[in-house]
Structure 1
Amino acid sequence: MTQELKPLLAKVEHVHHIIGKKWVNLIIHVLMEGTKRFSELHNIIPDLSKRMLNERLKELEECGLISRAVIPDRPVRTEYSLTAKGQELGTALLPVEAWAMKWL
């Protein structure tokens, strides 16, 4: 393997580590439609437990793919949206979704 390929392969492996986790693609897909509250995400993906949704949202926020905004109304709301980085990843995943619709 050439030395030039090592950094590229490391980045490819890293992105597959992120998007390969269960539920990540669905969360990104739903957020491509726009900002959602935690409860909305949970209602749209009902098989995803609240604990796992919370865990995945934290991971995606740490990766810089989503942003979390706390709205101090009563009751307090938390909203999630894709960052520019997350939006670009979501766009990159659209051909995979098209492939799935065609072949699965």
Structure 2
Amino acid sequence: MEDKKNEKSCERCALQEILGVIGGKWSMSIIYALFTGKKRFSELGRLIPQINTRMLVKELKNMETNGIVTRKVFATVPPTVEYTLTEKGEKLEPIINELYKWGLEFVV
């Protein structure tokens, strides 16, 4: 009985960790926008008009720290920054697409 409780507890812990990586309010929208390829910071801001700059920076830093996106800075004036999905991030595409389909069927 105790083993089943520990197993469920560990599953919840793992789920919390997963949501910490991709569960931010804007994370899915950013990842979805990057499915079509690299995007500059300003492009991401235009593709997700409801997000403010501070939140976009915060979400991108979190996803970069967790290996979901890569950030490439170009030595231009002003600096140009591009974001792309890593291999780890690309593996989220079928999952997010299924969530999107589910949302269209049951939420929208």
Q: Which interval holds the TM-score relative to the shorter structure? A: 0.7 to 0.9
Unaligned runs of 5+ in 2: none
Unaligned runs of 5+ in 1: none
Output one character per residue of 1:4-29: Cα deviation in whole Å (capped at 9) or x when no partner.
Answer: 55544432221123332111110010
Inter-partner Cα distance in structure 1 for 2:76 and 2:9: 49
Identical aligned residues as a percent:
34
**SS at the partner of 1:10?**
helix
- Please name the residue that 2:101 is paired with: 98
Output one character per residue of 1:28-80: Cα deviation in whole Å (capped at 9) or x when no partner.
Answer: 10011110000000011111001110111000000100000012244431000
Aligned counterpart in structure 2 of residue 71 of structure 1, from 60, 71, 74: 74
**Higher CA-based Rg:** 2
TM-score scaled by length of structure 1: 0.87
- Please name the residue that 1:27 is paired with: 30
RMSD across aligned C-alpha pairs, in angstroms? 1.8
**SS at the partner of 2:92?**
helix
Aligned residues: 104
Inter-partner Cα distance in structure 2 for 1:72 and 1:91: 35
**SS at the partner of 2:102?**
helix
Q: Quick check: 46-55 or 8-17, which moved more?
A: 8-17
Inter-partner Cα distance in structure 2 for 1:47 and 1:23: 9
TM-score scaled by length of structure 2: 0.84
